[in-house]
Every structure is written in C-alpha cells, then in structure tokens.
Amino acid sequence: MSITLVAAISKNLCIGKDNDLPWDIPEDMEHMRAATLGKVLIMGRKTWESIPEHRRPLPKRTNVVITRNKNYELPKGAERFDSIDEAVEAHKDEEIVGFGGQRIFEEMIKIADELDLTLVDQEIEECHAFFPAIDPAIWRESDRDDRDGFSFVKYTRK
Ligand SMILES: NC(=O)c1ccc[n+]([C@@H]2O[C@H](COP(=O)([O-])OP(=O)(O)OC[C@H]3O[C@@H](n4cnc5c(N)ncnc54)[C@H](OP(=O)(O)O)[C@@H]3O)[C@@H](O)[C@H]2O)c1
C-alpha cells in the first residue's frame, strides 16, 4: 500500500473557498488527473459534492466518499465509507490518494508516505478549508518544478 496526498494549496495553506477551488489553473487540473489515474481516491462528502455532477465519479479511478450519513446515495462506480480507516483497510493493497478536503487531509497526513502538492503563489482571503501545516521535521522536499504562478512540489516522509 502507498498513500499520497494530492492537493493544491495557497501560501496561507488555503485549499477551498465556498466549496470550490479558489483558483482556475488548467495545468493543475491536468497534474491532478495524471497524479490520480488508476488510484483509489479518498475524499470527504463535500469534496465529492464540489465535483460537477456530470464529471463524477471521476473516471478511471476508484472514487471513495467518506460520510457519516449511511443513507447517502452515490451513483454506480463510487463507494461510501463511514471512516477513513475502513476505506484504507478495504483498499490496503492498492495505491491510495488522499483527495481532500480539510478533515481528510488533516487525518491522512498522519499516515501518508508522500505529498504531491501544487503550491499556488497566492494568498486567499476568506478561505473556508485549509491544508495542515507541513512539518519540516517530518517532510523533506524531494522534487520541485517551478511554473509561472505556482510550483509542483513533492514531499517524502523523512
Ligand atoms: N485545493 C485542493 O487540492 C482541494 C482538494 C479537495 C477539496 N478542496 C476543496 O475543499 C473544500 C471541501 O473540503 P471540506 O474540508 O469543506 O470538506 P470535506 O473534507 O471534503 O468533507 C467534509 C465531510 O466529509 C465527511 N468526513 C470527513 N472526514 C470524515 C471522517 N473522518 N469521518 C467521517 N466523515 C468524514 C463528513 O461528511 P458528512 O457531513 O456527510 O458526515 C464531513 O462533513 C471545497 O472548497 C473543495 O473545493 C480542495
């Protein structure tokens, strides 16, 4: 099993505003697609709902939605779990991606092997969802690709 968190985060660790992404960066969407294809995506119910209905479940990926609502209805191709632990256990032999939002990232950063991040060169005001602090005692930068206005950066557990 491997666990990677895939996220785009601003300078002030913002990941979401009004249940949407605070920016529109096509290269980041393409990066996210490439980083998640063929993998198991574990996401919170609000992140699931933030994906336009006609685009979900995200194709060629196992879409796992975490919600405490046992009656939450999902279309064919998406799975519901009560907790991250149960979802991870069910997919323990696969490549798992923590896909957000805040609660999912907060819990899964404790068990992740790698962070595959897009660091967006912006400060977002009135932010509603945040990525947890990246502790330099735990994480080391292992790869960096600087672009115009953002960077693709990978962190590996020390
Ligand atoms: N920038 C990025 O890379 C990125 C990535 C993903 C999402 N986002 C953004 O983040 C925002 C959504 O994130 P969010 O933090 O508001 O919500 P979220 O984590 O996606 O969803 C929260 C919901 O997920 C369920 N949940 C989460 N953790 C759980 C746990 N441990 N056990 C049981 N249920 C759990 C609960 O659903 P119930 O209330 O149904 O029980 C909870 O209300 C949006 O703005 C989205 O665009 C950004």
Give mean pLDDT in consecutive 10-residue pieces for the chain, a chain of 158 residues: 97 97 98 98 98 97 98 97 98 98 98 98 98 98 98 97
Q: First-to-last CA distance in the chain?
A: 18
Q: Write down the H helix ranges in 1-158.
A: 26-36, 45-50, 84-90, 102-108
Is 117 a pocket residue for ligand 1 (Cβ < 6 Å)? no
Nearest atom, ligand 1, residue 15 CA: 1
Alpha-carbon torsion, ordered 56, 59, 65, 69, to 10 deg: 40
Report the CATH number at residue 137.
3.40.430.10
Calculate the alpha carbon distances from 97 to 35, 71, 84, 109, 149 in Å: 9, 24, 12, 11, 25
Nearest atom, ligand 1, residue 14 CA: 1
Is 61 a pocket residue for ligand 1 (Cβ < 6 Å)? no
- Please give the model's pTM, rounded to 2 decimal places: 0.98
Residue 103 CB partners (closer than 8 Å, separation 6+)? 44
Instruction: Judge whether 44 and 22 are in contact, CB under 8 Å.
Output: no
> How many Å apart are CA 132 and CA 158, to the nearest integer?
17
Is 45 a pocket residue for ligand 1 (Cβ < 6 Å)? yes
State residue 60's pLDDT score. 98
State residue 40's pLDDT score. 98
State residue 71's pLDDT score. 97
Range of the domain at 110: 2-157
Task: Specify the number of domains making up the chain.
Answer: 1
Q: CA nearest 104: which of 158, 48, 51?
A: 48
Q: How far is the CA of 152 from the centre of ligand 1 (A)?
A: 23
> How many Å apart are CA 44 and CA 96, to the nearest integer?
14
